[in-house]
Amino acid sequence: MSSGRIFNKFKNGISPPSFIRGFAWYSFVIVSWVPAAIFFKNNIGAVGEVGGESMYPYLNPTFNEGFSKDLCWISKRNPAKNLQRGMIVTFWSPSHPEVLSIKRVIALPGDKVITKAPYPYPTAVIPVNHVWVEGDNKDGRKTLDSNHYGPISMNLITGRVTHVLRPWRGPVRWWEFEDSRRVIKGRIQDAPHFD
């Protein structure tokens, strides 16, 4: 068999039974790995393309100059655990449930945030199990973030951006992010709860 070299890995040296020889057998072998791929994508990590300019200048710095989009590695292992200010997370946008947003965590439960323009109140205190996310873009019209929809539930977070792959910039050094001056740090014990 001419394609033997490619499929030897799956075949492990034994020939498949006569009634599902050939194409059907190899299709089955490939399809049998699809659940594993889905599991990996949802629970271990995935490559994601950054679509917009909300994280300018950190991600998509050349957004206005061409069609190139940044690629990043999104870790999906316990993304909402031990979140810190400065981390970049992906989450289902509260205002568009089928859109994955990518923003930076600005404030944690208990913190007080001095909000920006579209938010109806001058300050916001972050409740339990919520975070305040914002895009890096200084222009508030270029980023749809917590200033529009308020603090987001940590249960919406699906992943954490750990590496920028294209152009290669290596691991995301979130700890070098200077905390926003619009955040007054608080204690998690003081975070509001709806009870």
Partner 1 sequence: MAFLQRASRTFKWIHTRYAGHPFRLATATLQSLLALHVFWKFGYSVEPTWGASMLPTIQVMGDHVLISKQYRRGRGIEVGDVVAFNSVYEPGETVIKRVLGMPGDYVLRDTPGRSNVMLQVPEGHCWVIGDNIPYSRDSRHFGPLPMGLIRGKVLAVVFPWGERRSIGREDLKPVEN
Q: What is d(CA 75, CA 89) in angstroms, rounded to the nearest whole number?
A: 9
User: Strands, DSSP E only, in the chain?
Assistant: 45-49, 71-75, 88-92, 100-107, 112-114, 123-125, 130-134, 152-153, 157-166, 170-171, 183-184
C-beta closer to partner 1: residue 68 or 84: 84
Closest distance to partner 1 from the beta carbon of 150 (Å): 9
Is there a contact between 130 and 122 (Cβ–Cβ < 8 Å)?
A: no
Q: Sign of dihedral through CA atoms 165, 166, 168, 173?
A: negative
Is there a contact between 45 and 76 (Cβ–Cβ < 8 Å)?
A: yes
Which region, judged by CB under 8 A, interacts with partner 1, from 14-22, 63-71, 115-123, 166-174?
Answer: 14-22
Please state, in angstroms and as integers, the Cα–Cα distance from residue 7 to each residue in 24, 29, 52, 157, following that order: 13, 10, 40, 38
Q: Is 93 a catalytic residue?
A: no
98 is a contact residue toward partner 1 (CB under 8 A): yes
C-beta closer to partner 1: residue 92 or 169: 92
93 is a contact residue toward partner 1 (CB under 8 A): yes
- Out of 27, 155, 167, 179, point to the residue binding partner 1 (CB under 8 A): 155
Closest distance to partner 1 from the beta carbon of 128 (Å): 6
- Out of 4, 9, 14, 64, point to the residue binding partner 1 (CB under 8 A): 14
Is there a contact between 158 and 137 (Cβ–Cβ < 8 Å)?
A: no
The single residue of 54, 93, 101, 146 carrying the catalytic annotation is 54
Chain-centroid distance of CA 143 in Å reads 16
Q: Is 76 a catalytic residue?
A: no
- Out of 108, 152, 164, 172, point to the residue binding partner 1 (CB under 8 A): 152
Is there a contact between 159 and 135 (Cβ–Cβ < 8 Å)?
A: no
Closest distance to partner 1 from the beta carbon of 45 (Å): 16
Which residues form the catalytic set?
54, 103
Q: What is the binding site for partner 1 (CB under 8 A)?
A: 12, 14, 17, 19, 32-33, 35-36, 38-39, 42, 80, 91-98, 127-129, 149, 152-156, 193-195
